[in-house]
């Protein structure tokens, strides 16, 4: 069972992450940008001339890895799932650099026996030389096998504030983006080597018909949809993006992103796979510059 004190006080240490223009272009290719190689907007993310970094690349920089597998956490790591992801840019992400990440567990909430637990981990990314804060991230993890942990120590934190529900009306904008059959094999080169996304035997053992796409790849595709439909492929326009993961995506599927204007500086977002009639991202919130 999850050990509250051990997890809440987990020492990740400072993580230095160096990345190059090549890494920036590879991340963009991994989320499907460049599918139209003569599109001038897309070329700004996959070609070294006038290169920009996709804002959601923040989510793969400075990761502590799959630390939940450490037996000191006490967590049933086999049953955990990535529930929500957010990033906020304080300034445009450089296309290359050396950043220092500071990860912190800010809350662990016991939903009760049989109902699981929720952990919130935040990350700061600072320029190594100046110490300037570049971006912040938030990961919400659902620990499906750890409900009831507070019976041991009596400690449980308030849960995270819920993301807003999507409007009950037709979307203002819709964008369709296709995924490649090999997309998970490209995206994993940005640092997530979980074999669930590559090995058919492992995927079948986990209950899937074949390897699934990384949730953070789908998340990056949400940024692509916003860049394409709203921002004219100007990366500086996206200040923050939050989503909830609601279902897996299989490589090769087409995603339909639905956007609603919330006000002049924000949008709400949802993504569907129409071929299976399933919502894969929900409760999305986009903040624009």
Reported as a single tens digit per residue, the pLDDT across 108-159 is: 999 999 999 999 999 999 999 999 999 999 999 999 999 999 998 899 999 9
- Note the pLDDT tens digit of each residue in 166-200: 999 999 999 999 999 999 999 999 999 989 999 99
Q: Please pick, among 83, 215, 220, 284, the residue that the annotation labels catalytic.
A: 215
Check residue 87 and give its pLDDT. 98
Annotated active-site residue 212? The verdict is yes
CA dist list (Å): 141 to 14, 16, 78:
21, 23, 12
Q: Is 215 known to be catalytic? A: yes
Across the beta sheet with 15-19, the strand order is 15-19, 97-110, 117-127, 133-143, 80-89, 238-245, 278-288, 266-273, 254-263, 173-178
Domain boundaries, the chain: 4-288
Widest pairwise Cα distance in the chain: 59
Check if 127 is active-site.
no
Mean pLDDT across the chain: 97
Neighbour tally for 229: CB within 10 Å:
15
71-105 residue pLDDT tens: 999 999 989 999 999 999 999 999 999 999 999 99
pLDDT-derived band at 206, boundaries 50, 70, 90? confident
Calculate mean pLDDT across residues 20-40: 97
**Range with lowest mean pLDDT among 110-114, 206-210, 230-234:** 206-210
Catalytic residue among 62, 197, 214, 224: 197
Q: Which among 137, 212, 224, 284 is annotated as catalytic?
A: 212
Class of the CATH-defined domain 4-288 = alpha beta
pTM comes to 0.96
17 is catalytic: no
């Amino acid at each position: 069972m999850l050990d509250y004190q051990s997890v809440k006080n987990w020492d990740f240490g400072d993580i230095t992450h160096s990345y190059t223009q090549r890494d920036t272009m590879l991340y963009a290719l991994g989320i499907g940008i460049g599918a139209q190689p003569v599109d001038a907007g897309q070329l700004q993310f996959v070609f070294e001339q006038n290169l920009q970094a996709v804002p959601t690349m923040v989510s793969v920089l400075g990761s502590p890895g799959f630390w939940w597998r450490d037996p000191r956490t006490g967590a049933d790591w086999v049953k955990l799932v990535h529930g929500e992801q957010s990033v906020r840019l304080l300034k445009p992400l450089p296309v290359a650099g050396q950043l220092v990440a500071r990860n912190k567990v800010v809350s662990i909430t016991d939903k009760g026996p049989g109902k699981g637990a929720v952990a919130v981990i935040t990350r700061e990314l600072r320029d190594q030389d100046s110490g300037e804060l570049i971006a912040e991230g938030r990961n919400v993890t659902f620990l499906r096998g750890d409900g009831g942990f507070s019976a041991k120590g009596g400690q449980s934190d308030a849960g995270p504030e819920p993301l807003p529900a999507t409007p009950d009306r037709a979307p203002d904008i819709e964008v369709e983006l296709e995924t490649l059959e090999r997309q998970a094999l490209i995206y994993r080169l940005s640092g997530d080597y979980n074999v669930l996304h590559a090995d058919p035997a492992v995927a079948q053992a986990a209950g899937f018909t074949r390897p699934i796409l990384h949730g953070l790849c789908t998340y990056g595709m949400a940024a692509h949809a916003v860049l394409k439909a709203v921002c004219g492929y100007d990366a500086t326009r996206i200040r923050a993006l939050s989503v909830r993961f609601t279902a897996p995506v299989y490589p090769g599927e087409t995603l339909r992103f639905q956007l609603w204007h919330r006000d002049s500086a924000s949008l709400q977002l949802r993504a569907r796979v129409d071929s299976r009639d399933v919502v894969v991202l929900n409760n999305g919130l986009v903040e624009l510059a």
